[in-house]
Structure 1
């Protein structure tokens, strides 16, 4: 009876109703309060304070019900006060904005109206005829088209509450997540609007929980609208989520101030060359006035800001372009500021990070603008010659002369998802070729697929990615100098300390300020977001394309799956092991010599369950960052390359990857590299040499891909270039054959200072099937060919081809992958430690003599 009189009920922490047996009987400390609609309307009508709640009325002894007459008198007094102040008259009946549209919405609206509220329902224009709206006394439109995200958007709900003059907002259905959003609750409280959520989504009329927050609104009420989904969010909420739309995952363009707050350690940025005198080389009419107008509008000096800061404690020179100032166009001042940034970084031996965002050259400055491309390129060339890294981050948009110069000149080129990246504008291209452009053209994903950039990095991962890349450079830079220099940070010496610093050490302004603030929005930015690279649809060149077209006699994926299950695939033929269209029967030939260890190793090396190179990378390369592309044509998935740490030592890793299952094997061309794969490895070798990083190669291929397109793109040239580079590479090189080592395709990663083989790996001039076919015209004699060629690891070691045979453990690698990986890790670590002690010239001489003896 008492609960009914009080019009609220008390709930325990597990959601059970707590009996009230006496006026002074206290409720448990963990109890909460669920309001009945009648009590909510009384408090709204009388403008009472926020009592009772779980803390203020724990014993419920202070509660006094408000008589209906008193509530009405209070309401009339409020109306009179509003009229005297000149404000619009307030209806005596308080308005409740009901955020519900499920099948129960009609019943809920009726219950709200019966309790004494003016029930206001929400709708969208495309669903304005829904039946539940007839049960409402008032309606308000949220937008043009319905979406779950719209009903859960804080800005839309608050705007609707303002429009209908709501005193109370009732959250149900898609709007329920707002009950946990601090920024929304703080803004509602500032408006004097109380927010309740349904105690039970299935029975919302049962009771309502008051939603509140101790956090005040963190900004001045500014909102930003996503150009992709049309929803608006407050700036503080966006800052806490890296200016990423909480609904659709689209990226808001960031100003330099926002980028600094999101990337650099809090308080570490020091601006350089803030003001540089403007020039007007063409005397372009009105140019000076437009510059002044841009400064007044944006509060910026020019289209780029430069300076120094720290990322996870590491000092770095930073340039950030401003798309909101003349669309980031590159004039003489932009070029001058960037040039001064790079020159000072060279003098102070600092790495450079530049975030690009530009529409290209500034037309009002003519050829002088064009010369900035050459000017900045010259400065970067000197910076690179000093052995210093330059990391370029492409943001939306990066086009024109910026793309054709410093944006693409980084040692590592990263891009944000979905960023517009291109040289010529799409309209110009359409007018030139008279064709429509494909979907996704000139995006970051397009650039990655065509090998033009190293990686696509989401904003949430950008700071940590930059920190690890910079730390890898710092490790090798120190080893080359042999001493610390001013500006070095002792905490950044290996992968673990970088990770610890990112998690528990220095932090960004955004994290410090907004770290505990939940972003507004309904739908999370998850794996299904269209902004994520569609890897399953990318990089399917070479054999995969041939399989799909079923051209040149290639077999179907289903048929290949069966062949792989039997352990056979012939790289040279690009098809299964067949004779006259039927599977070759080689079991009889194998049975002739059960002691044929070479053929046994061939079978084990081809075992579909054998760990691939990527499995070894995952096992012992800490913080591996994969770098893609040959920067000219494509990204060959058969070659995985990047940087990371092995045993605390920064390394470049290059591996041939077959893929762990049939789908992956098709995508990776069965581990048979294309020319662009070897050119990618060459690029990473040269980068390692520049920064003094040792190179670790994992070899596992039946051979380089043999096909018309590979020949057209210079397969032989690409392998030759790799061999020439490895012969003179001025850093240690260690190679391990972890599976098949077929012909020149394998040797392209095996011209090394130390070469080892796992005990069941194989190494040969070509596949045993190819050997048997060429010399004996009989592919079924492949087991005999394997024995003749001495393909096993033990035989290769006896001939001095390899330096060591690595145990795979008590069984083959696919039965105990951890033990096999540990043997590879131990060998690589020991070899790198030994080679690191040798002078460069002695290293090169020993490498020459190693291969000269053959």
Structure 2
């Protein structure tokens, strides 16, 4: 699709305002390159390989940089880079979210190395935009290759791709010329990169405006400063002094296959949900859900353990914790609250997990959460087994569902260590203080959310109540305070 047509399909009608000025000359008059540029201008109707400007997307003012592939395959020369950098810097000055839609063969060979190094210059401008706490969203179009993909095409907070798009570092023509064989089929394709956690979604042109608008509704925070909402009804309607039930009863209930998990919570209680895929660095883990979402008026980044996926063949591994850390960084960079949802039967037990650094990833999650430059809220929703659960638990405020629990190991594992049999798991759970009542008493959690009497018996109603609690809690979180967090962790388990 041509650049102007893409702008017309994505932005509100009549809202586009160009920021472009005529490019400075880069070719000797009469030279072959000058003739190529003239032909490109005539063929494409554009004076360079990108157009830049601003418009409105569902009423929100945004900046937009769009490649024109018909102009020398969207390649980046010095004048192209001048235009991109000027647009990025203007978006930063005017505090606008920035959208980029590259479609390019990469560096303009006619300009050589001086064009090649422009990629670093563009990347520097993009990172200054991000450092200002402003969203940068990328839509990779067919084709996007070379230095463009290896710079500003891969730096988005959120990255989507056109269906079927060729996306890769080394273009197929170059690979065949250098290696004497075609590049393997199915690798440099948008859908494969999404499955591998390199792009967040594959989105058609007609869905792009809605998808982008949903993401910006979260990434840009509340449209106006507002008074945090009061807790709906009375706290007694949501929080409770948990009843004195046996620990094993809660553990049994938490393992019910029909117990609602993080996906149910988002479906019943959240809006503007934008799932993100993987680490953005080539790893994905179905056991860990990363999303942007709103609970009522409160935007947040959600990092949640997906109980059903973990129990259907995808136990949480090191890649899942690296996905979680991506969410932490995203929250910190954009100043959004982070919501972690703990619901795991435990991390994967395998030689591969050990070799890929499972223990180190747990440690890094703990370290990043404790020092995160964003407010944090943790919800213990169901099972809370072992280091995988602890990795997402430290937060400014911790909530716990009545039948959620937290334990160093599954009770069966603790029983095997102490009694050399799993048969005394219920006894070990009671002795270890894993249930919500124990966690509240010991200061591990701040409040317990009622189930009536079991979330699995009222999934929709439970998730709706829970969403109201989360809206109130997210809106009332204090700013990140490392001293307060340190004091909180010093108090853990010290009830005297």
Match of 1:713 in 2: 356
Distance (whole Å) between structure 1 residues aligned to residue 180 and residue 342 of structure 2: 46
Match of 1:825 in 2: 467
Distance (whole Å) between structure 2 residues aligned to residue 739 and residue 706 of structure 1: 20
Q: Within 5 A, what are the aligned runs for 1:635-714?
A: 635-659=284-308, 665-666=311-312, 669=314, 672-714=315-357
Q: Within 5 A, what are the aligned runs for 1:363-512?
A: 363-429=109-175, 437-476=183-222, 479=225
Aligned-pair CA distance for 1:376: 0.4
For each residue in 1:378-422, what CA deviation from the matched residue of structure 2 results, as whole angstroms up to 9, or x when unmatched? 111221121111111101001000000000011111111111111
C-alpha spacing 1:478/1:823, structure 2 compared with 1 (3 Å): closer
For each residue in 1:681-725, what CA deviation from the matched residue of structure 2 results, as whole angstroms up to 9, or x when unmatched? 111111111222111111100222222222222212222221111
In structure 1, the residue corresponding to 2:160 is in which secondary structure? strand
For each residue in 1:130-160, what CA deviation from the matched residue of structure 2 results, as whole angstroms up to 9, or x when unmatched? xxxxxxxxxxxxxxxxxxxxxxxxxxxxxxx
Match of 1:258 in 2: 5
Match of 1:277 in 2: 24
In structure 2, the residue corresponding to 1:814 is in which secondary structure? helix
Q: Is the 8 A contact 2:443 2:491 kept in 1?
A: no
Q: Is the 8 A contact 1:321 1:328 kept in 2?
A: yes
Match of 1:605 in 2: 254
Aligned-pair CA distance for 1:633: 2.6
Q: Is the 8 A contact 2:49 2:71 kept in 1?
A: yes
Distance (whole Å) between structure 2 residues aligned to residue 692 and residue 414 of structure 1: 22
Q: Which moved further from structure 2: 776-785 or 320-329? A: 776-785
Are 2:438 and 1:792 aligned? no
Match of 2:365 in 1: 722
Q: Which moved further from structure 2: 295-304 or 358-367? A: 295-304
For each residue in 1:22-44, what CA deviation from the matched residue of structure 2 results, as whole angstroms up to 9, or x when unmatched? xxxxxxxxxxxxxxxxxxxxxxx
For each residue in 1:225-277, what CA deviation from the matched residue of structure 2 results, as whole angstroms up to 9, or x when unmatched? xxxxxxxxxxxxxxxxxxxxxxxxxxxxx101111110111111111124111
In structure 1, the residue corresponding to 2:290 is in which secondary structure? strand
In structure 2, the residue corresponding to 1:780 is in which secondary structure? coil
C-alpha spacing 1:289/1:640, structure 2 compared with 1 (3 Å): same
Give the alignment partner of residue 339 of structure 1, picking from 69, 72, 85. 85
In structure 1, the residue corresponding to 2:64 is in which secondary structure? strand
Q: Is the 8 A contact 1:757 1:806 kept in 2?
A: yes
Distance (whole Å) between structure 2 residues aligned to residue 714 and residue 629 of structure 1: 17
Aligned-pair CA distance for 1:680: 1.4
Q: Within 5 A, what are the aligned runs for 1:310-349?
A: 310-349=56-95
Q: Is the 8 A contact 2:297 2:471 kept in 1?
A: no
Match of 1:815 in 2: 457
Aligned-pair CA distance for 1:740: 0.3
Q: Within 5 A, what are the aligned runs for 1:167-316?
A: 254-280=1-27, 286-316=32-62
Larger CA Rg, structure 1 vs 2:
1
Aligned-pair CA distance for 1:631: 1.8
Distance (whole Å) between structure 1 residues aligned to residue 479 and residue 405 of structure 2: 32
List alignment gaps of at least 5 residues for structure 2. Answer: 228-243
In structure 1, the residue corresponding to 2:308 is in which secondary structure? coil
Q: Is the 8 A contact 1:806 1:823 kept in 2?
A: no
CA RMSD of aligned residues (A): 2.2
Match of 1:361 in 2: 107
What is the number of equivalent residue pairs in this alignment?
A: 476
Aligned-pair CA distance for 1:280: 3.3
Using the size of structure 2 for normalisation, the TM-score is 0.91
Q: Which moved further from structure 2: 422-431 or 790-799? A: 422-431
C-alpha spacing 1:278/1:312, structure 2 compared with 1 (3 Å): same
Q: Is the 8 A contact 1:797 1:804 kept in 2?
A: yes
Match of 1:628 in 2: 277
C-alpha spacing 1:675/1:432, structure 2 compared with 1 (3 Å): farther
Distance (whole Å) between structure 2 residues aligned to residue 750 and residue 477 of structure 1: 30
Q: Is the 8 A contact 2:342 2:383 kept in 1?
A: yes
In structure 1, the residue corresponding to 2:280 is in which secondary structure? coil
Distance (whole Å) between structure 2 residues aligned to residue 774 and residue 429 of structure 1: 55
Distance (whole Å) between structure 1 residues aligned to residue 406 and residue 137 of structure 2: 38
Structure with greater contact order relative to length (CA < 8 Å, sep ≥ 6) = 2
Distance (whole Å) between structure 1 residues aligned to residue 25 and residue 349 of structure 2: 57
Q: Is the 8 A contact 2:288 2:316 kept in 1?
A: yes
Aligned-pair CA distance for 1:468: 2.0
Using the size of structure 1 for normalisation, the TM-score is 0.54
Distance (whole Å) between structure 2 residues aligned to residue 827 and residue 844 of structure 1: 24
In structure 2, the residue corresponding to 1:652 is in which secondary structure? strand
C-alpha spacing 1:433/1:451, structure 2 compared with 1 (3 Å): farther
In structure 2, the residue corresponding to 1:699 is in which secondary structure? strand
Q: Is the 8 A contact 1:622 1:644 kept in 2?
A: yes
Aligned-pair CA distance for 1:434: 7.5
Aligned-pair CA distance for 1:747: 1.4
For each residue in 1:711-756, what CA deviation from the matched residue of structure 2 results, as whole angstroms up to 9, or x when unmatched? 2222122222211111112222111111101111011111111112
Q: Is the 8 A contact 2:135 2:220 kept in 1?
A: no
Distance (whole Å) between structure 1 residues aligned to residue 304 and residue 8 of structure 2: 37
Distance (whole Å) between structure 2 residues aligned to residue 828 and residue 349 of structure 1: 29
Q: Is the 8 A contact 2:50 2:68 kept in 1?
A: yes
For each residue in 1:511-554, what CA deviation from the matched residue of structure 2 results, as whole angstroms up to 9, or x when unmatched? xxxxxxxxxxxxxxxxxxxxxxxxxxxxxxxxxxxxxxxxxxxx
List alignment gaps of at least 5 residues for structure 1. Answer: 1-253, 484-594
C-alpha spacing 1:808/1:326, structure 2 compared with 1 (3 Å): same
Match of 1:803 in 2: 446
